[in-house]
Amino acid sequence: MKTYFESYEQYKRQGNSIKTTTITAKQLLPALIAHMERMDRQFTLHINGQLPMPIDSLIKEAFDQCHLEQPFYTQHCEKRSYKYRQLTKNRVKVEFTMRYRMARQEEKWIVNEIQAIIKKRIHPDMSALQKVFIVHDYIARTYSYERHTDGSPFAVYTFMNEKHGVCMAYALLFEKMMEALEIPCYYVIGKAAGEGTEGHAWNMVQIDDHWYHVDVTWDDIGSIPGKEVRYRYFLVADEKMRLDHEWNENHYPMCTSKKFEAIHRLYDGCLVNTSLYYAHPRNGHLYEMNFADDPFQTKQKLIVKIQFCFYINGFLYFRNDSHNGYLYQLALDADELTQLSAEQVIRIYETDTTLEVLYADQTTESIQKSISADIVSEDSLSFETAENCLEVLLNTFGDSWVATVDQQDDCMPIVFKSADGIELYVDEHYKQLTVDLYINRGLHIQMTSNRKNVEFKQPAQLKLPITLIPGSEKQLSKQNALEYFADDEFIYIQLYKSVTIQLKK
């Protein structure tokens, strides 16, 4: 990378900081970055020594290159102005005034939110490729391109809150998440075909000592949760990127590897360890591509047409278009295929804690992710029931328990009970409430009113005998909408809505 200025790291190693007001011309860029990282609105710098170019040109050059380091801060600087005075032949005083697209409390919120997202979606032992893949798909699936937003469409805070923004927000969020994951990444400014005279922003990321282009904005398709994601601009070499993108190649590392060209024509992939599962672009069948092989090896996994492929809890979930568009589950360790629904799936999309399934009849199902967590203590949760409750019998049918109750307007809280020790306490009023609980490759709890899933403001409380859980599968997971603890006899669960919870061996 060619630049006249010192790097920000070199500047800091020399002991310089925002307190340093006297600098050389080469230190102008890192000095500006230091102040923009703090979001300083006004500051003064004295430039000593002979200038390599006129002062206006030097400052413009520094502003043009400030995105190369700490872009999350420098690009959130919306307006930059300055005035200068020549003090002596070799000393110039420059006073800067800045305006930013985010406040300090918004910056703090973004950083904390990114950490929370990473904690829920990424494990430390994942490879760099897995982490980059997950971040790419998370951004492309969660957010949508839109200029008309309440806040600034360029700001990451707006992007993460409103779920809409422009290419700058896409690329800044990607770069900030790479920084949190300690994966080398650049924020790239350039031009792209179809963008007119306006600029475009994307990223470069380093994997196994090779640099690649990643344009999440152009891989984003659609504007609804569960939309398709493509990989045409994911891990791309310079040669292909030059076909419709332009950038100052002096400012960035060369991207020469074509290792991932095989994925550029794919859509909606699902990366599990080193294997990518995807619908073949010709026949729609489920295929597997192994990145551990050189060259990559591909094989047909299932002779069924699939759509919406996701991986959680050791299973692939997808819509089986060879069988009426029903929801199916594939156990990768045993290659066991299981039908999970008898209603056509319209859309599947992922949240931080669940996989959400929308059916043609407009009902939904939440499949809870299994994330390792310590069992919380009984003292930290409340599983008390009121003394005066309406008791309703849960009828047992094999591994299923079902009950329906019609409540009066002044009805008391309900406790559903089964003969084998299940208790479900609900302290909210519904004129008609149905509970359907069954254990089959997981714990499935569905609570509906007039055939529509309900969501409680106060959590329902489930008491489940451990003896009903098969084999050695005795553990659940702590989630935002799912708290639990266990003793020698029961598992106690707080839940707010219908869920499917994988049982861990």
User: How do residues 270-319 score in pLDDT, each as one tens digit?
Assistant: 999 889 999 999 999 999 999 888 788 899 999 999 999 999 888 999 99
Final residue in a domain of this structure, among 38, 69, 100: 100
Tell me if 299 is assigned to some domain: yes
Asked whether residue 341 falls in the same domain as residue 402, the answer is: no
Question: What CATH number does residue 82 fall under?
Answer: 3.30.110
Would 262 be classed as within a structural domain? yes
Q: Tokens 């200038």 label which residue?
A: 51
Lowest mean pLDDT: which of 131-140, 414-423, 465-474?
A: 465-474
Q: Torsion angle, CA of 145/148/152/155, rounded to 10 degrees?
A: -10
Residue 340 included in any domain: yes
Q: Which run of H or E residues covers position 175?
A: helix 167-180
Q: What is the mean pLDDT of residues 180-184?
A: 95
Same domain, 20 and 124: no
Same domain (yes/no): 93, 31: yes
Residue 339 belongs to some domain of the structure? yes
The more confidently predicted of residues 469 and 473 is 469
Q: Would residue 283 count as lying in a domain?
A: yes
Question: What is the mean predicted confidence (pLDDT) over 252-256?
Answer: 96
pLDDT value of residue 370: 66
Closest among 86, 7, 3, 96 to 48, alpha carbons compared: 86
Please tell me the distance from the alpha carbon of residue 293 to that of residue 288, in angstroms, as a whole number.
12
The whole-number pLDDT of residue 41 equals: 95
Same domain, 151 and 189: yes
Residue 430 predicted with pLDDT over 90: no
Comparing CA positions, the residue from 361, 323, 326 lying closest to residue 340 is: 326
Does residue 157 share a domain with residue 66?
Answer: no
Do residues 36 and 93 share a domain?
A: yes
The CATH number that applies at residue 415 is 2.60.220.50
- Residue 33 in any domain: the answer is yes
Boundaries of domain holding 383? 378-501
In Å, the largest CA–CA distance within the chain is 94
What tens digit of pLDDT does each residue of 158-170 get? 999 999 999 999 9
Structure confidence at residue 503 as a pLDDT band (50, 70, 90) = low
Domain end: 100, 131, 149, which one? Answer: 100
> Are 348 and 425 part of one and the same domain?
no
Same domain, 279 and 347: yes
- pLDDT for 59 beyond 90: yes
Strands in 297-312's sheet, in edge-to-edge order, are 270-272, 275-279, 285-290, 297-312, 315-320, 326-331, 336-339
In a domain, 3, yes or no: no
- 385 and 282, same domain (yes or no): no
Residue of 135, 232, 238 lying closest to 181 (CA atoms) = 135
What value, to the nearest 5°, has the Cα angle with vertex 371 and ends 500 and 227? 65
* 47 and 150 belong to one structural domain: no
Is the pLDDT assigned to residue 478 strictly greater than 60?
no
pLDDT in tens, 354-409: 889 999 998 998 888 764 433 344 444 555 666 678 889 999 888 889 999 887 65
2 found inside a domain: no
The count of structural domains within the chain is 3
In this structure, the answer to whether residues 173 and 305 fall within a common structural domain is yes
What percent of the chain lies above the pLDDT cut of 90?
A: 62
∠ CA(201), CA(207), CA(212), 5° rounding? 35
**Domain shared by 249 and 321, yes or no:** yes
Percentage of the chain modeled with pLDDT above 70: 90
- Of 62, 84, 100, the one marking the end of a domain is 100
Q: What is the DSSP letter of 489?
A: S
